[in-house]
Amino acid sequence: MTLTILLSVMTMAGLFLMLWAGVGFIQDKRFFSSAHPDILAIITPKQERFQGQHVLGYILAFIAVAMNIGAIVIGIVNGVQNDFGFGQLFLRLGLMVILLKAFDVIFFDWILLCNSGFFPRYYPETKPFIGHSLFGYNKVSHVIHTTGYLAAAAVLAFIFTRS
């Protein structure tokens, strides 16, 4: 259970690093697909604040993806080494998904989007549109993602526990 929690924290850090890389450094609208449509419409292209900003962003994004893939691989390999059955491995992967989505809703949506100056720091034009009214605008997307990720966790657990 301790490893599962540590791997969940690793995915949370990776997800935050991905957001920071996209919003703060890469600054390309293609990375903002989950943004509220009103916010997306007012975001304007930004100049690099320093030389190599976009390159740094892509490096951070690569590290973030590697962290998330690494957490899944470590969780599966450890489960296989410890003879986890389907239920145990699905529980580990499913718990990682649920904790990551909880982090997404609480930290990203409630804290960063609704209650902090994170986005206006990089996109000042969004300041008048940021607020509590945005909380929950993407709940359908969260449900779809969670369902898909849990299904993927079940498939992975099934594949790696067949023997």
> pLDDT confidence of 123, banded at 50, 70, 90?
confident
Element (H, E) at 60: helix 53-81
Q: What is the pLDDT of residues 56-86, one digit of tens each?
A: 999 999 999 999 999 999 999 999 999 999 9
Please determine, for residue 163, whether its predicted confidence score (pLDDT) is greater than 70. Answer: no
pTM: 0.85
In the prediction, which pLDDT does 137 show? 67
Number of domains the chain is built from: 1
pLDDT digits (tens, 9 = 90+) for 6-39: 999 999 999 999 989 988 899 887 777 667 777 7
Range of the domain at 109: 2-161
Tokens representing 43 are: 């975001």
Instruction: Tell me the C-alpha distance between 90 and 99, whole Å.
Output: 14
| Contact indicator for 104, 47 with CB cutoff of 8 Å | no
C-alpha 128/C-alpha 47 separation (Å) is 22
pLDDT tens for each residue of 78-122: 999 999 999 999 999 999 999 999 998 888 878 877 778 778 788
- Check residues 101 and 131 and name the one with the higher pLDDT: 101
- What is the pLDDT at residue 10? 98
Q: Which of 71, 67, 76, 68 is nearest to 157 (CA)?
A: 76
**Mean pLDDT across the chain, nearest whole number?**
88
